[in-house]
Amino acid sequence: MGVQFENRWLEDVVRKALDWPSEEALTTEALEKIKYVKIGRSNRFKAGFEVDLSTANPPEPFADTDGGDEWVYCLRGKSIEAFLNQERRSNLLNPSMFGFDDEEYNEAHSDAAEAAWENYKPHIVSGYDFLEVIALAQAEGMDATERREERLFYELYRDILHFTGVQVLRITELVMPDYKIFQEMKQLRVLELVETHFASDEGCGCLKGLQQLACWLD
């Protein structure tokens, strides 16, 4: 039967990134070739979800120089463990690195980092699913719209589980059950969590092996 995605639009982007025929079932081995995943609520559309995928190895260390200061202030190495120990006593359900005293990584704004990101971008394949929240709310009511969004969050969570070979994972405005989703991603070295909320901090210890962690709330 092969691997099946909950979201057809996401599966279509996966097939495009892998150059995988539509008539052939996706395999676990094929999905392990995807090394970069950016997924979550869209920044480009008022409502909807989007994904960026690539089979090329992302720059190391990683910095998206099109963004703000998140990679300058991202946590690295031993500071990740210190952050987890500190936040475990307070709140890892809504993780944010801002306010945690750590050394700045100024190389994230260097010419070399910018060149590495610009060279990487052509390898990225993108796709989106437009969710007309206003129309849904008018047609079905806010309760029904919220339930549909909750179902989409769960479906995206299940789909992210398939990317076991990912090296850089960037999640935007999703709701996750816990941190155990990252335990099977043995090659994961960079994790970005933007406005991402967790129902439990179970499994957060697996983040100690990361090279970079960027997380914040707007």
Give the pLDDT score at 47: 63
172 lies in some domain: yes
Give the pLDDT score at 203: 94
3 lies in some domain: no
1 lies in some domain: no
102 lies in some domain: yes
How many domains in the chain?
1
202 lies in some domain: yes
Give the pLDDT score at 34: 98
122 lies in some domain: yes
* CB contact at 8 A, 188 and 35: no
Do the strands 190-194 and 212-216 form a parallel or antiparallel pair, or are they unpaired?
Answer: parallel
DSSP 3-state assignment of 128?
A: strand
DSSP 3-state assignment of 68?
A: coil
Give the pLDDT score at 105: 79
Which value, to the nearest 10 degrees, does the dihedral of the CA atoms of residues 133, 139, 143, 146 take? -20
**Distance between CA atoms of residues 179 and 108, nearest Å:** 26
* CB contact at 8 A, 217 and 195: yes
Give the pLDDT score at 44: 66
Which residues of the chain are modeled with pLDDT < 50?
133-134
Give the pLDDT score at 87: 81
For residue 59, give its domain range. 8-216
Structure tokens at 208: 């100690």
DSSP 3-state assignment of 109?
A: helix
133 lies in some domain: yes
Give the pLDDT score at 134: 46
2 lies in some domain: no
**Distance between CA atoms of residues 151 and 105, nearest Å:** 38
**Distance between CA atoms of residues 188 and 164, nearest Å:** 8
